[in-house]
Amino acid sequence: MTEDSQRNFRSVYYEKVGFRGVEEKKSLEILLKDDRLDIEKLCTFSQRFPLPSMYRALVWKVLLGILPLHHESHAQVMMYRKGQYSDVLHALKVVRFVNDATPQVEVFLRMYQLESGKLPRSPSFPLKPEDEVFLAIAKAMEEMVEDSVDCYWIIRCFVNQLNSKYRDSLPQLVRDLCWLLAGGGRVSSGIGSLQETPLPLGAATVKSRPSVVGVSRCFL
């Protein structure tokens, strides 16, 4: 029996006895043992398989650029990240924007606002739509990442990626998604034509269609 056939047999067996993902976990562990992490392989793995919870934060930090690709630099870089986190949090407490009773996701939001130069004059000012998007993402991340420093940096870099790479594409993403929900053709074969094609009503009514807000929140 060849190595590939043995691996396929084990995968099927593990899945049948309730241990789905065992082979995937082993594959990820092999990728994470490389002296220099392969970002392309980690991206491909993350797109094809669910990440095991024990490695989720590490992989996300590497993919988002929070950690470098070389293992020996991880501890030092995270020490700098923790220092920056502590400095920003201390500054917010000094100006009385947050305190020990402030919900953690709101602390994350104020930290992000301060670092991006968007901190309002008063914490009583109403939130902007982009702040609501940040909070929705932060609440989801908080449920998956236990460490507050890791959680903040993942949220911060994820939101930055979302804003820098996909902000201009949001209206088109909404149109593409509505087309699919209404029974349209494959996005890959019809993206160009969708720009000039009215959205079909059918399966998705006007009220139930995805909005730019929903897409920008990644439906969280």
How confident is the model over 116-130, as pLDDT tens digits? 999 999 999 999 988
**Residue 187 pLDDT exceeds 50:** no
Neighbouring-strand partners of residue 70 = 36
Q: What's the confidence (pLDDT) of residue 201?
A: 33
Q: Is the torsion defined by CA of 54, 60, 65, 70 positive or negative?
A: positive
Query: What are the residue ranges of CATH 1.10.8.680 in the chain?
Result: 60-180
- For residues 182 and 199, is the Cβ–Cβ distance under 8 A? yes
Confidence of residue 23 (pLDDT cuts 50, 70, 90): confident
- Higher pLDDT among residues 195 and 174, named by residue: 174
SS3 for the chain is CCHHHHHHHHHHHHHHCCCCCHHHHHHHHHHHCCCECCHHHHHHHHHHCCCCHHHHHHHHHHHCCCCCCEHHHHHHHHHHHHHHHHHHHHHHHHCCCCCCCCCHHHHHHHHHHHHCCCCCCCCCCCCCHHHHHHHHHHHHHHHHCCCHHHHHHHHHHHHHHHHHHHHHHHHHHHHHHHHHHCCCCCHHHHHHHHCCCCCCCCCCCCCCCCCHHHHHCCCC
CA distance 28 to 58: 11
For domain 60-180, give the fold.
Answer: Helicase, Ruva Protein; domain 3 (1.10.8)
Indicate whether this model's pTM tops 0.75. Answer: no
How confident is the model over 26-66, as pLDDT tens digits? 889 999 998 899 999 999 999 888 898 899 999 999 999 99
**Residue 203 pLDDT exceeds 90:** no
- For residues 200 and 184, is the Cβ–Cβ distance under 8 A? yes
